[in-house]
Amino acid sequence: MDANSPTSQYASLAAHCASAFALPVARALPEQPAAVTAPWCLTVLAADIETAQLEQLAAFVSADQWRPVALDILAARADCKVVRIQLEGDIAFAAARLALLELGQSLGVELVLQAGETQRAPKLACFDMDSTLIQAEVIDELAKIAGVGDQVAEITLSAMRGELDFQQSFRKRMGLLKGFTEASLAEIAPRIPIMPGAQRLLLALRALGCKSAILSGGFTYFANYLRDNHLAVDFVHANQLEFDGGALTGNVIDPIVDGARKALLLQEIAKALDLSLDQVIAVGDGANDLPMLSLGALGIAFHAKPKVRAEAPQAIDGFGLDAALYLFGLNDRAIAALLDERT
């Protein structure tokens, strides 16, 4: 049998899991994972997972007196392995999350802890845009084209040092873009690369009956372009660009979408949809996403800076955005069926 075939990949990972945790493992990837009944779920994601890594994880879990009660393999592809472990025990989430972040880095895997009840499809998913749904920081790209890239970068660094807040830095950066033409924006929009997995994740969310929103400190011009051409998005809230004679004025139209406003918008959309916050998730990469990441059932830091990873409830680093689907109680077969993909 080909060692890279899905059957071989699954059998190998199942053997590793059974050896490390002494829990029953399905012989093949089922249509749906088992129901979650434990108070906690720990999801392991990696390009490959070996017995030694799982044994060290099992030792860590045992030392903290957490009790594994069920184990599912959610993915067993050549480039992606995902294992979900249901846990019982007195887990202090904040401390456990940081300890698992450190352990995952030492083992070369990603470890995502969440309450068992959050292993379900959300009803509302809120996303940052720049460096989350797209592979760019739009304002930085515009500044480079306008010839003020270094000046904008210095303002960004000043904000990161705490010398300016987001609103102050945003106003300063926008002032430097005065005169940038709307025609140039129209040329740039189609060239902005979509984040891997973004389209697949948003299509899956829509198929699950989940509404989605872009809550961005970037621009409605680009967020609307994404919604109209690439991404299955229901709501857009971002900063509006002010034009005069077909060019940017350099002024800012209030209110500016900063971290506090993202959190407020998430709550307002949830209320309008008659949803509780435990039916909402948020995904972002920056410090100004942390307020909204702290509100919902899941707050996923995606390809984020170390500080954001350390503070966000959950984090995904080495995979595309669609890896978030494994945190909703889905495996590869369920995802493929949802998207009508061939397996």
Clarify whether 72 is annotated catalytic: no
Cβ neighbours for 99, distance < 8 A, ≥ 6 positions apart: 60, 64
Residue 188, number of CB atoms within 10 A of its CB: 18
Task: Please provide the DSSP assignment of 122-190 as one string.
Answer: -SEEEE--BTTTBSS-HHHHHHHHHT-HHHHHHHHHHHHTTSS-HHHHHHHHHHHTTT-BHHHHHHHGG
Catalytic residue among 48, 64, 72, 128: 128
Q: How far apart are CA 190 and CA 194, in angstroms?
A: 10
- φ, ψ dihedrals at 57, nearest 5°: -65, -45
Clarify whether 90 is annotated catalytic: no
Q: Is 50 helix (H, G, I), strand (E, B) or coil?
A: coil
Query: 159-168: which pairs have CB atoms within 8 A and are 24 or more residues apart?
Result: 165/258, 166/217, 166/256, 166/258, 166/259, 166/288, 167/256, 167/258
Cβ–Cβ < 8 Å for 40, 88: yes
Report whether the peptide linkage leading into residue 24 is cis, meaning its omega lies within 30 degrees of zero.
no
- What is the distance, to the nearest Å, from the Cα of residue 117 to the centroid of all Cα atoms in its chain? 19
Cβ–Cβ < 8 Å for 311, 18: no
Catalytic residue among 2, 48, 72, 130: 130
Residues serving a catalytic function are 128, 130
